Structure 1
Amino acid sequence: MNLVLGMIAAMMVIVASANVLVQYPVNDWLTWGALTYPVSYFVTDLTNRLRGPAVARRVVWAGFALAVLLSAVLATPRIALASGAAFLASQLLDVAVFDRLRGRAWWQPPLFSSVIGSALDTALFFALAFAGTTMPWMTLALGDYAVKVAIALVMLAPWWWLARRARRTPGDRHG
């Protein structure tokens, strides 16, 4: 399968599953969605590394459209719209930050772009999806963000492995 189509499909599945899972708290400070959504940054960053920021943005836009449609069916329209807005803003920020840091050490672009993108995503999503509801959304947002940062750190291991084996784009250093 074409790499770009595979990345779009992965993005759609990751985001739609996170939108279903975010409705189910694990405890008072975490939802199941926090365990799946951070992988979307890995997909975006890998696309950016392999094909550049223009292709990464196309994957984000296509993944956004498909995930919002699927989420409206599988989750709720409010979650789908909140997710769409947060996803689009945070993923486009991720692409820009990653590209800006492209020439730095191998771990900096994927880590910093994911951490910064996750902060924007978490703030936008939880405020739009759950403000005014009985869901303890501020506490859940803090817990979700902490897990997203932890997963971004864990994803550095497969990032390093895949980046070492993949074709490099101009400006990449150390993988």
Structure 2
Amino acid sequence: MTRLIPGILAMAAIVVASNILVQFLFGQWLTWGAFTYPLAFLVTDVMNRVYGAGTARKVVFAGFLTGVACSVIGTQITGEFGPLVTWRIALGSGLAFLTAQLLDVAIFDRLRDGVWWRAPLVSTLIGSVVDTALFFTIAFSSTLAWVEPANDVAWANEAIALLGQGPVAPLWVSLAVADWVVKLILALVALIPFRLIVKQITTRVA
């Protein structure tokens, strides 16, 4: 149980911080939450490397429950344009997190015996793609309007140039692409703290 506590606390802190920071815009395509949420993959990968897939999954489930709690609270808080968290966003967030993180654990575990950076990098990149695709599709795609008919997502489906430069696509696609680019960059940067944290923990345990 002792080995779980740091991972659970770190994951919970990241999930809570991301749920708060997602309310604040960063430029045209991102929110501040885009810079904290990907750190969840770092926590999962560190726990997986040091303590194994079973422990990592427990940390993931703790993060999922924290996210559910945040989403439920968010649906009860009304902002300028309605609830801070719609049920579609809550559903997309929960499914995306759980699916992507568990996939990350499985891929990491499969690759753990290779060169040290391959497992965290590959698992995070694939998990990030799944996370981004699931969340933005469930939360904003007009094809899933039946999930929450009362939630008007017309704004997210406005046809615009991709990231203001590319081919025409719904606005939510630009938001998703920008979000994934941040995840990609942070996946590369996170290799540094991953290496350092794993080394520190394994040295202390030894």
Report the TM-score range of the alignment, normalised by the length of the smaller protein: 0.7 to 0.9
Q: Is the 8 A contact 2:100 2:127 kept in 1?
A: yes
Alignment of 1:110-149 (within 5 A): 110-132=120-142, 133=153, 134-135=155-156, 136-149=171-184
Q: Is the 8 A contact 2:64 2:97 kept in 1?
A: yes
Letter in 2 for 1:62: A
Shift of 1:15: 2.0
Partner SS, residue 128 of structure 1: helix
What residue in structure 2 maps to residue 158 of structure 1? Answer: 193
Letter in 1 for 2:88: R
What residue in structure 1 maps to residue 60 of structure 2? Answer: 60
Q: Is the 8 A contact 1:19 1:83 kept in 2?
A: no
Q: Is the 8 A contact 1:122 1:144 kept in 2?
A: yes
Aligned counterparts of 1:14 and 1:31: Cα–Cα separation in 2: 15
Aligned counterparts of 2:64 and 2:20: Cα–Cα separation in 1: 15
Q: CA RMSD in A?
A: 1.9
Aligned counterparts of 1:54 and 1:152: Cα–Cα separation in 2: 22
Shift of 1:23: 4.2
Partner SS, residue 137 of structure 1: helix
Deviates more, 1:34-43 or 1:13-22: 13-22
- Identity %, equivalent residues: 48
Structure 1: runs of 5+ lacking an equivalent: 169-175
Matched, 1:81 2:91: yes
Give the TM-score taking structure 2 as reference length.
Answer: 0.75
Q: Is the 8 A contact 1:86 1:124 kept in 2?
A: yes
Give the TM-score taking structure 1 as reference length.
Answer: 0.87
Higher relative CO (Cα under 8 Å, sequence separation at least 6) belongs to 1
Aligned counterparts of 2:44 and 2:106: Cα–Cα separation in 1: 11
When residues 21 and 126 of structure 1 are mapped into structure 2, their CA distance, relative to the original with a 3 A threshold, is farther
Aligned counterparts of 1:137 and 1:33: Cα–Cα separation in 2: 16
Over residues 69-93 of structure 1, what are the superposed CA-to-partner deviations in whole Å (9 max), with x where a residue is unaligned? 1232135143222111000000000
Q: How many residues align?
A: 168
Aligned counterparts of 1:80 and 1:20: Cα–Cα separation in 2: 14
Aligned counterparts of 1:78 and 1:16: Cα–Cα separation in 2: 18
